[in-house]
Structure 1
């Protein structure tokens, strides 16, 4: 009979639990290897002949088990590759009660971006979801929380950072031994270590907690903004939770090569440099907002995730959805002028898009093993989860919702919890049936399309599950918390409705004729809206009275109806034509995104040129009025509107006039003239100029990439290399993927850029198919990056492409990206069908335009 560990879905038995790890690691950075010694204090709930730990590629040396005065050594130490465990077998039952397990081992740094790895000159760990087992033999599941007392022996002269502050530093032969303060109880995935030639800001105290931000020396001037964000939002988070920060100190460190955006290790948050380091004098506002949002997201995790932790990875969304929602809420409180909720809405779009596929998954879905946990870090877990929490907060009210969160944090402090614990706390605080609402939205895939038909003062509502594939139907329904906003003789009113059934009729409060109705006020609901013809015309005629979020939702919903075969692309373009005088940058971003899809994916040749000419005619008057040069004291709103218009006229419409304006400005910027381009124009101007650029410009960008200290600027130049449309230069860019120019963290983005290049796409696609295994291997096995490589194939356009992608993924399956494979194939199939269905309609519409 096979041992239970021979199953990939093996879970640790709960009869042996760790309470404390005392470990010493010795790092050899030159050899990229390490050795370790540790004592684990454990508790046995019953006698057992074996102890099972997680370990990957670790060579165990001496192992002994001590209980009281008795010492037991295992008769066998058996690694089991399939479950990433090691089984310690003993010849007699080990007694129930407290004991210690002593282990010695050796291991190697990983070549990818997980476990313990080298990012340039910096050694760093990344353990989520389940890679602590690459460094420590340990109980590597989130439910097995324990205290960690860690020492590390490293070469002299390096900064050494751990979860706690350093309590002792001493010379140990040729090495330095650093001992950290013992941690609070932590799940193993939250343990971290960073070693390298790093420098930190001076410590600043928030309620007695020292806060520092770290980087490589040459990037020291870019740490101030991230430090200031942490100092500003930490007190706001403490106030929201009603609990002090628990982890003694807070270090934030930019890692030169990093898989995710950031990682919330307790007291030692690690970041991809581009999400932490910037110069506010030169950074676009989008970069500043992104850094503020990521920093706040990771700090929110110090409570939600680190202090109260999920039991298992099926509740990963509890961590991520909450931190996603909380980050926008807190940054909005800190910087209301940034209008963060509009950014939240644009992030939510990716979740609505994904959740309209048949291959979507519930927010809370079955996760059988660590590999499947890695696939859960997607837009459903983060953005849909965050949107559902926002919707529940809107239904309960801000005060009762916060009271429920505080109750949950107090009740499960230092422990693990499941989703029902959160619903119970929210329900107790709000005295509302939270579980009904939450279970439907968290446990069920998809979301509804709500149809509203206005007849006098009554609104007939109906709901059905929304699929982006035409003709697909199913019978699910949701309790939909709706906020109806409308105007009648008494003015603009709001009315709340919990729409539970397939159909319902709502009588609108107030008097007189209803001028217009928006059935997702503030766009806070996670659903799509369809209106009867007269109601849609009334909204289109009253755009100016709708909030920016509602205008965005109107465009998004009409586009979704086109994709699903329920709406006409000609009607969508007629609606888009009404936005020529739009002044809100976020609405313009949405408009440009929709029109860019039409130009890029639905038409070719002369029709493509006609789309560009129409967009230029619609939006260039706005750009001419604003000009390219920012006026003194100009608001962020105006700067961002200019940026959106340049994207439309220069990026999408490819206006020769806009290119002629951008070229000399980019040239002056490259020569160091700071005022040549307003920061919010940098991305679009560099991309436009690169697209039409020559070999001299290509060489300039190529030389700047490795030398540029600012990570956002470095990324801008790197991605510009993928944009050159001269075929010879497109081929040169393709050749860079396997060079040191492209860091592991940037591989998926670079591949996506190459597939987006119109003149280079087909040659690169042919090359990619030949080198598919090498391209996937170039990610170093990082699950998020592997998934994004698969998703990049969605940049392809034709049925011939689709068939080739199907064959490639069928013959070369990517085991860490099963979900991404299904979603990419379904999405690409729909894009191809949409192109074949709507291309002729777009062509006919364009010919009717004056």
Structure 2
């Protein structure tokens, strides 16, 4: 008879629970092996003749069960690979009540980027979702919270960090024996350990919490900004939750090779170096905002996720969506001049794009095992989830929302909760139909397209589900919290409507003629809007009366209608042509992104040249007026506007003058002249010059990339290597992919770069099909990287390539990226169809341009 554990969806029985782990680990950094022994204090609800723990690739030694003064050895120790468990079977019943389990084991560092692995000279752990079992035999599910008392034996001369502060450091033969303070109750995925030649900032306290930021010695000069971001975020988070920070101290560590952006381990947050380390004197503002946002996101998790934890991975979205939304809220309070909600909208746009596919998934979906949990780390979970929370907050009001949050944190402190617990707390605090609102948006995939037309003072609103595939219709509806913003005789006003039905008429408050109406005020709603021609024209002639977020949404929604065949691409280009005088950098970013898509996919040959000239004409004057050098005391807004215009004129339009301006500046910068390029222009200028670059430049960038300590600069050079359009150099970059000069964490970005190279793409795609297994092996099996390698196929253009991609992914599927495969093929299918449908249309339109 098969044992219950012979199933990859096996879940631990709730009748046996760990209360405390006391573990000693010995690390052999040279041999990349470890040994451990631990005592787990257990609580058995009822007698049982077996114990089941998670363990993956661990060799168990001596095991003893102790209860009521009696010791028992297991009759059988059976590892089960499919469920990554080990079953301990005993010859007699184990009694109910308190007990202890002593276990000794050995294991090896993991080859990929999870469990305990070697990131260059640093040994680091990454346990989420289910890899604590690669280092400890443990109860590796989030509902099994316990205290952890860790002791680690390591070679001398290394920095070792764990969740708790170090309480004892003693000599133990040739090793150091380090004892860490016992933790609060934690799920196993939040336990962490880092060991290596790291140096830290001096300890600084904020409201009594010691904070330090760590890096390799050659990067120590890049830790200050991340440290300041943590010092700014912690008091604001304590204040928002009305709860003190629970984990004693905050250590933040830059890890040299890391799969995700960062990981919120309690009291010991680990980061990919680029998400923590930077030099504010040379880092573009986008990098500074990104580091501040990631640091704050991870600190928000210390409450939401670590203090109150989901019961199972189907509520992972709640952890991530909440931390995503919260990070922007806190950073916005710290640096209002950064306008980070506009960056939040960029993330929301990615989710709107993904959620318009048939192969999307609800924010909260069924998760049967830890592997499926790994697939959930996507734009729907983070960005759509965050956008829906923001939409609900906008509807309930900030104060009621925060009061509900505080109730939820108090009720579920130190334990686990499900999404409905949060909705109930928010409903109590606001007396609004939160359950109806939340569950409709969380449980149902997709989102509505709200159409709006205005006659006199009557607005007709209708909703249908938006699909990016032309001609697809379905009958779902949502309770849509619509916020209307409009101008009439009395000025600008707002009105809220909860649109539940397929269609409704709303009479606008106020009096006089309605000059314009925006049907998604501040763009806080997770829906798109289709205006009738008259309403659209009124908005287009009053662009500057709209907020930047509303202008962005106007462009994005029009583009979405063109994608789905509900509007023409030339109607989008007509709208885009009204934005020639746009001065807001965030709106320019949106515009340039859309024009880049048209230039890269919908025009070829002569048409492409004509389109490039049109883009240069539309935005070139703005760049000429600003020039490439920033004036003393110039605002960030102006710097970012210049960067967007350089991307438009130099990147999309491939303007000769822009290239001639960039080339000598990049040369000077590479020779050490920091003033040659304003930091916000670095990415665009280096990419543009590399595209047209020669072999000496390729070799110089490669050499600089390998030696560069600053992770953002290193990544800039790495990605520039994929941009060279000289076919021989494009070939060199393709060979480079298969070497360890491209770190494991960077393989997916590098593949995406190669796929975006115009002259190299076809050769790379042929190579990728031929060496698919090798390409996948470069990710070390890391699920996030595998997914992004699959997504890079979205860079293909032709129907023939779409069929080849379909064939490759069908004949050699990637189990860990099933969802990404469905989404990538569907999106590519639509991109190919749009290209075939729109090329003649865009060609006619470019010919008509003066």
The normalised TM-score by structure 1 is: 1.00
In the alignment, what sits opposite 2:819? 819
- Give the Cα separation in 2 of the matches to 1:663 and 1:287: 23
In the alignment, what sits opposite 2:615? 615
| 1:740 CA drift (Å) | 2.1
Alpha-carbon contact 1:669-1:675 (below 8 Å) kept: yes
- Give the Cα separation in 2 of the matches to 1:828 and 1:529: 24
In the alignment, what sits opposite 1:631? 631
Alpha-carbon contact 1:275-1:294 (below 8 Å) kept: yes
In the alignment, what sits opposite 1:401? 401
Deviation sequence 1:341-379 (CA, Å, 0-9, x none):
000001100000000000000111000000000000000
- Give the Cα separation in 2 of the matches to 1:399 and 1:655: 50
2:85 is the counterpart of 1:81: no
- Give the Cα separation in 2 of the matches to 1:210 and 1:532: 57
In the alignment, what sits opposite 1:52? 52
* Structure 1 segments unaligned to the other structure (5+ residues): none
- Give the Cα separation in 1 of the matches to 2:713 and 2:682: 9
2:188 is the counterpart of 1:165: no
What does 1:536-575 align with in structure 2 at a 5 Å threshold? 536-575=536-575
After TM superposition, where is structure 1 displaced by more than 2 Å over at least 4 residues in a row?
none
426-435 or 623-632, which deviates more: 426-435
| 1:806 CA drift (Å) | 0.3
Alpha-carbon contact 1:62-1:104 (below 8 Å) kept: yes
What does 1:323-334 align with in structure 2 at a 5 Å threshold? 323-334=323-334
What does 1:449-464 align with in structure 2 at a 5 Å threshold? 449-464=449-464
In the alignment, what sits opposite 1:503? 503
| 1:663 CA drift (Å) | 0.4
What does 1:575-594 align with in structure 2 at a 5 Å threshold? 575-594=575-594
> Secondary structure at 1:477's aligned position in 2?
coil
Alpha-carbon contact 1:705-1:741 (below 8 Å) kept: no
> Secondary structure at 1:682's aligned position in 2?
helix
- Give the Cα separation in 2 of the matches to 1:318 and 1:528: 23
* Structure 2 segments unaligned to the other structure (5+ residues): none
What does 1:164-203 align with in structure 2 at a 5 Å threshold? 164-203=164-203
2:769 is the counterpart of 1:769: yes
Alpha-carbon contact 1:251-1:268 (below 8 Å) kept: yes
Deviation sequence 1:729-776 (CA, Å, 0-9, x none):
000000111212100000000000001000000001000001001101
In the alignment, what sits opposite 1:783? 783
In the alignment, what sits opposite 1:410? 410
In the alignment, what sits opposite 2:727? 727
Deviation sequence 1:267-297 (CA, Å, 0-9, x none):
0000000000000011000000000000000
In the alignment, what sits opposite 1:844? 844
- Give the Cα separation in 2 of the matches to 1:196 and 1:275: 19
- Give the Cα separation in 2 of the matches to 1:453 and 1:285: 39
| 1:417 CA drift (Å) | 0.2
- Give the Cα separation in 2 of the matches to 1:214 and 1:44: 41
- Give the Cα separation in 1 of the matches to 2:565 and 2:454: 23
> Secondary structure at 1:78's aligned position in 2?
strand
What does 1:152-551 align with in structure 2 at a 5 Å threshold? 152-551=152-551
In the alignment, what sits opposite 1:15? 15
- Give the Cα separation in 1 of the matches to 2:194 and 2:2: 40
In the alignment, what sits opposite 1:130? 130
Deviation sequence 1:87-144 (CA, Å, 0-9, x none):
1111111110000011000000011000000000000000000000000000000000
- Give the Cα separation in 1 of the matches to 2:825 and 2:82: 28
- Give the Cα separation in 1 of the matches to 2:736 and 2:173: 43
- Give the Cα separation in 1 of the matches to 2:653 and 2:453: 37
In the alignment, what sits opposite 2:656? 656
In the alignment, what sits opposite 1:759? 759
Deviation sequence 1:590-646 (CA, Å, 0-9, x none):
000000000101121111111101000110000000000100110000000000000
- Give the Cα separation in 2 of the matches to 1:432 and 1:756: 48
Alpha-carbon contact 1:309-1:417 (below 8 Å) kept: yes
- Give the Cα separation in 2 of the matches to 1:69 and 1:473: 68
| 1:208 CA drift (Å) | 1.4
In the alignment, what sits opposite 1:105? 105
Deviation sequence 1:466-502 (CA, Å, 0-9, x none):
1100111111100000110011111111101111111
- Give the Cα separation in 2 of the matches to 1:396 and 1:362: 23
- Give the Cα separation in 2 of the matches to 1:763 and 1:71: 66
Paired residues in the alignment total 850
- Give the Cα separation in 1 of the matches to 2:389 and 2:193: 33
| 1:210 CA drift (Å) | 0.6
- Give the Cα separation in 1 of the matches to 2:218 and 2:802: 45
> Secondary structure at 1:6's aligned position in 2?
coil
| 1:658 CA drift (Å) | 0.3
- Give the Cα separation in 1 of the matches to 2:369 and 2:517: 47
> Secondary structure at 2:432's aligned position in 1?
coil
Deviation sequence 1:656-702 (CA, Å, 0-9, x none):
10000000000000111111000000000000000000000000000
289-298 or 504-513, which deviates more: 504-513
- Give the Cα separation in 2 of the matches to 1:839 and 1:314: 42
- Give the Cα separation in 2 of the matches to 1:499 and 1:311: 33
> Secondary structure at 2:506's aligned position in 1?
strand
| 1:400 CA drift (Å) | 0.5
- Give the Cα separation in 1 of the matches to 2:618 and 2:491: 32
In the alignment, what sits opposite 2:712? 712
- Give the Cα separation in 2 of the matches to 1:494 and 1:432: 20
Q: CA RMSD in A?
A: 0.5
| 1:455 CA drift (Å) | 1.1
- Give the Cα separation in 2 of the matches to 1:256 and 1:237: 28
- Give the Cα separation in 2 of the matches to 1:106 and 1:459: 69
Alpha-carbon contact 1:252-1:271 (below 8 Å) kept: yes
Deviation sequence 1:389-408 (CA, Å, 0-9, x none):
00000000000100000000
| 1:456 CA drift (Å) | 1.0
- Give the Cα separation in 1 of the matches to 2:262 and 2:612: 38
> Secondary structure at 1:675's aligned position in 2?
coil
The normalised TM-score by structure 2 is: 1.00
Alpha-carbon contact 1:584-1:637 (below 8 Å) kept: yes
| 1:77 CA drift (Å) | 0.7
Deviation sequence 1:404-436 (CA, Å, 0-9, x none):
000000000000000000001111111111101
